[in-house]
Structure 1
Amino acid sequence: MPIDNSLKVKAGAISNRNVLTRAERLEKLKEADRWKEGDKVLGMPKVRVVKISMKKKKKVKTEEEGGAAGAKGAKGGKAAPKK
């Protein structure tokens, strides 16, 4: 029996979570040397979840714009001062 379309998880639906699982918290604490093997699992210290913000992509110059910029660059890039 196939799964209903409303129950499928799409790649775009996966987002950053603000809660870590216990295993993920243990990994972070081990990296920071705040948890050692044999310590109690209950009452672990809190772990900050880093939020990642996406930066806007820069526009790619087309060949026409690149050619015009290349012509200006050949002349030194700046206009000669007027006398």
Structure 2
Amino acid sequence: MKEIAFEDFYQLCQNGCSTIIDVREEVEFKQVHIESAQNLPLSSLADTYEVLDKNQTYYVICKSGIRSAHACQFLAEKGYDVVNVPGGMDAFE
């Protein structure tokens, strides 16, 4: 599974990266999130992933990196180019 160091991911965010998927639940997402992130909760990802473009690279984030790792595995199996963000939103705070 591809991963990105948090410092490198943070730089991408500063430059306006628009391909961030936040797989936390909607309640968590509403509390705090990266402005350009798209919320696709892991619990419903199997029903919503097809809105994604297979020609894009997506950076997948959650609270700590566990759910995003599961989401990356699922999406990679479906043919998407995904990169896990270890540390997740905990690293932002």
Shorter-chain-normalised TM-score: which range? Answer: under 0.3
More helix as a share of residues: 2
TM-score, structure 2 normalization = 0.19
Higher CA-based Rg = 1
More strand as a share of residues: 2
Bigger relative CO (Cα 8 Å, ≥ 6 apart): 2
TM-score, structure 1 normalization = 0.21
